[in-house]
A = this chain, B = another copy of it.
Amino acid sequence: MSQRERFTGFPGKWQCLNRTISKHLSKYLVEKRMEGEIVVLETLLSLCLLLIGAKIGGEIAKRLNVAAVVGELLAGVLLAPTLFGGLVFFGTHLIVVNEAVHVLAELGAVLLLFLVGLETRFADFRKSGLLATLVAIGGVVVPFVLGYGLVIYWGYPAEEALLVGAALTATSIAITVKVLKDIGKMKTRESNVLISAAVIDDVLGLIVLAIVLGLVRSGSLDVTSIIWTAGVSIGFWLGMTLFGVFVVSKIINILCPRKNCQMYDAEGKPREPHKAGKHCTIRCNGTQEVSAIAMGFGFAYVAGMAGLAPILGAFAAGMSVAETKILNTIQEVTEKINFLMAPLFFVVTGTMVNLSGLTLDSLVFASILIVLAMLGKILGCGIPVYIMTRNAREAIIVGLGMMSRGEVGLIIAGIGATSGIFSNDVFSAVVLMVVVTTVITPIAMTQAYKLLNSHGKPKAKKAAI
C-alpha cells in the first residue's frame, strides 16, 4: 500500500543510510539502540491510540445498534496516516503502522479465525443437509461471478477481480446469529438453514481464497491450473483439518486425560475447584491455553508455507481444539486475548483505506459493488431455497440473512491490501461493501420479518385474543 510505504519508509531509509555509511562499531551501536527504542515507542503510541480509537468507535456503533466491527473499522479510517494519524506531534507521526503493528494486526486475524474455528464443530458439516449445502454453494458462486465480472468490466486486472470475488463469497455467522437471537427466531426452519449455510459458506469462501491466492501466485489463469490449484488447495486444507480434528485432538485428549482435577495458579497454590471436564492436571498456569494458541500459530505457518492463507491454518487448528475436552478453557482465554487483538486487526485494516485518494469514479464503482454484493447473496441463496421449498418468504429471509460479510470479508480485503494485489480504489470499495452489508443486514432482516410475518405473528395474536 502506498500510504503504508510512505509512512513507514523513513526508518527503512534511515537504516539503509546507517548501514552503508557508518562503519564505526561504537557509533553503530548507539544508533542501533536509538532505533530499537524508537520502534518500541512508536509502536506503544500507535497501539494506544488505535486501540482507544477502535473501542470508542465500537461503543458508538453499539449504541447506534450497529455491529461494533463497523465502528472499529471507521475509527481506523479516521486514524489512518493519510488523515488524523498523519498529524505530526513532537517530531513524529501520531500513528505509524510499522512492521510490528502490521504483524500484530495479522496475528489478530489469525487469532480471530482460531476462535471461529473453536466455535465450529466438524460434525456440523456432516449434519447440515442438502438444502444448506445448496444455499451455501449458491451464496459462493453467484456473488463470486458478479464481483469478478464487475471488476473485469471496470478494467482492473484479473488477479484483483479474483480476490474481490473471494471477498464477496464470505458470510458473517456472528452477525446472522445475533440478528436471529435479537428477534427471537433462533428455532425456526429458515434459521437452521441460515446458520448451517453460513458455516459451510465461510469454509467454501476460505477455500475460494486459497484457490485465488494460489492462482495469483502461480500467475497463470488457464483451466488446467485452476483445477490443479483448486485440487491442491482443497486437498491440503482438508488434509490439515482432518489431521487436526482426528489426530491432534486425540493427542490433546491423551495429554489432558483427567476429567475433574486440580489447576494451580502462578504461585503454585491450588485454585478454586473447577467444573468436571474443564481442566486437567497442569501445574503451570496457562500451559494448555498457550500451547493451543501456539498450535494455532504453527498451523497458520504451515498453511502459509503451503501457499494457503495463514488464517485457513488457524481455522483448522481451532476446529481441532473444538473436539477436545479443554475447549472451554481455550475458548475463554482466546476470547480475552481477542478483546485486544481483534479490534486491533479491524482498526489497522481501517487505516489502510485512503479516503483522500477516492475519486467519483471509485465511489460509483463501490456503489455498484455493494448492490451486486447484496443481490449476489439474495439470489444465490434465495433461489435454491425457493426451488426446494416453494416458499418465497423463507427464500427472501435466507437471502437477506446471508448478506452481511463481517470478519472474513475484511480479512480477505486485508490480505489484498497488505499483499499489494488491491489498488486503493478496489480495497476501499471492498471495505465499504463489508461495512454497508454489515449495517444493512440486521435492519433488512428485522423489516423482512415484520412485513412477511402477516401470516405468522398476527395470527398468533388473534389466537391469544
Contact = CB atoms under 8 A, between A and B. Distances in A.
A455 interface: no
A195 B268 CA distance: 18
Contact of A304 (B30, B37, B294, B336): B37
A300 B44 contact: yes
A181 B40 CA distance: 37
Contacts of A122: none
B47 A294 contact: yes
A58 B287 CA distance: 8
Interface string A24-56: 000001101100110111011101110110110
Contacts of A174: 266-267
Of the candidates A30, A55, A182, A333, the one having the most CB atoms from chain B within 10 angstroms of its own CB is A55
Contacts of A12: 15, 19
Nearest to A293: B340
A343 B293 CA distance: 13
Nearest to A177: B267
A372 to B, nearest CB: 27
Of the candidates A268, A285, A293, A418, the one having the most CB atoms from chain B within 10 angstroms of its own CB is A268
A107 B174 CA distance: 30
B301 A41 contact: yes
Interface string A294-305: 110110110011
A421 B420 CA distance: 39
Interface stretch (A97-105, A352-360, A432-440, A456-464): A97-105
B104 A100 contact: yes
A288 to B, nearest CB: 9
Given A15-B12, A294-B52, A286 B41 contact: no
A37 B306 CA distance: 12
Contact of A310 (B40, B54, B106): B40
A419 B36 CA distance: 7
A425 interface: no
- Indicate how many identical chains form the complex: 2
A182 B36 CA distance: 41
B29 A19 contact: no
Contact of A182 (B20, B268, B332): B268
Q: Using C-beta atoms within 8 Å of the partner chain, give the interface range for chain A.
A: 35 or more
Interface string A255-296: 000000000101111000000000000111111011101110
Interface in A412-429: 418-421
A287 B61 CA distance: 13
Given A13-B19, A68-B284, A182-B268, A339 B333 contact: yes
A59 interface: yes
B267 A48 contact: no
Contacts of A290: 51, 54-55, 339-340, 343
List 6 A-B pairs, minimum CB-CB distance, nearest first: A286-B339, A100-B103, A51-B294, A336-B336, A48-B298, A48-B297
Given A44-B304, A51-B293, A52-B291, 16 more contacts: A16-B16, A33-B418, A36-B102, A37-B419, A41-B305, A44-B298, A47-B107, A48-B295, A48-B298, A51-B294, A51-B297, A62-B264, A62-B284, A178-B269, A289-B339, A336-B336
Interface of A: 5, 12-13, 15-16, 19-20, 29-30, 32-33, 36-37, 39-41, 43-45, 47-49, 51-52, 54-55, 58-59, 61-63, 68, 90, 99-100, 102-104, 106-107, 110, 174, 177-178, 181-182, 264, 266-269, 282-287, 289-291, 293-295, 297-298, 300-301, 304-305, 310, 332-333, 336-337, 339-340, 343, 418-421
